[in-house]
Chains A and B, each alone.
Chain A
């Protein structure tokens, strides 16, 4: 073998070894771009699918958002209208608040005055409580006294009932005796009886009417004075007749009052004069007192 052939054999061996080395290196460390491409395609399909889903969701969301936007717009308009109403209400309430503030100030003043009054009243109540305690003690004393008085009243009531029954008996007895006295023509009025005991008042009057008996003598005379002048039944008067200058008078008899009124009386002649006859116009008087 020539020298050139040997060199070519060695070169061929070296090149073959380099070829094997490079082919092995490529096979060992290469990246499979086809698999990566397939994987990328699959991922791309997934991404596209997700994108379509998201686009659909976005479309739905957009529609829903538009609906909500329309609702929100309507609500906003309504809220704006309400806001205008509320602003008016706020103004009204502000005015009312001012009024109420004024009233509250007034009421606060009144409440403070009431508080002062309440303190005074409390102090007064404490004083009244003390006074009440004293009064209660006094009430107890008075209650004891009241019980004693009640006992006395009971005793007096028993005595009163006893006296009342005696009085009732006395009244019935008095009525019976009054009936008996009246039946016998006697006076029952104590005042009249007292007057009958006392001398008649000094009065004067006139004979205004006469009544004679069957014998032609004067039996009753009516005179111009009565009970208003102080006469009572049983009073005795003298009948006199005055002449001219009244220096001379004539006694005509004595009469006793049998019945009388306020300004008249009827009297019975109990002692006629032997020298004269009683006539209408003669004077009657109690001043002689014979």
Chain B
């Protein structure tokens, strides 16, 4: 995303920024589940 007016003015966080944090949390949680799943197999893939 390119700045719209000037570089000194910070954009105001909106609901979409919050949704991005939610997406980050969901990705981290999914990664933890997958890591736990792999740990139960001893991190062996074949």
Chain A positions within 8 Å of B, measured between CB atoms, are: 1, 5-6, 9-10, 12-13, 15-17, 19-20, 22-24, 26-27, 30, 32, 34
Of the candidates B1, B26, B29, B41, which one forms a contact with A1 in the assembled complex, judged by CB atoms under 8 Å apart? B1
- How far, in Å, is B2 (CB) from chain A's closest CB? 11
- Asked whether B1 lies within 8 Å of A22 as measured between CB atoms, the reply is no
Of the candidates B23, B32, B34, B40, which one forms a contact with A13 in the assembled complex, judged by CB atoms under 8 Å apart? B23
Q: Chain A binding site: helix, strand, loop or mixed by DSSP?
A: helix
Q: Chain B binding site: helix, strand, loop or mixed by DSSP?
A: helix
Chain B positions within 8 Å of A, measured between CB atoms, are: 1, 14, 16, 19-20, 22-24, 26-27, 29-34, 36-37, 40-42
Complex Cα spacing A290 to B21, Å: 221
- How far, in Å, is A60 (CB) from chain B's closest CB? 43
Which residues on the A side are within 8 Å of B34 (C-beta)?
A: 23, 26-27
- How far, in Å, is B23 (CB) from chain A's closest CB? 4
Of the candidates B22, B33, B40, which one forms a contact with A23 in the assembled complex, judged by CB atoms under 8 Å apart? B33
- How far, in Å, is B1 (CB) from chain A's closest CB? 7
Q: A1-B1, A9-B16, A26-B33 are in contact. Are A16 and B22 (CB under 8 A)?
A: yes
Which residues on the B side are within 8 Å of A16 (C-beta)?
A: 22-24, 26-27, 30
Of the candidates A6, A10, A20, A26, which one forms a contact with B26 in the assembled complex, judged by CB atoms under 8 Å apart? A20
- Asked whether B26 lies within 8 Å of A17 as measured between CB atoms, the reply is yes
- Asked whether A23 lies within 8 Å of B29 as measured between CB atoms, the reply is yes
Closest residue on chain A to residue B23 by CB atoms = A16
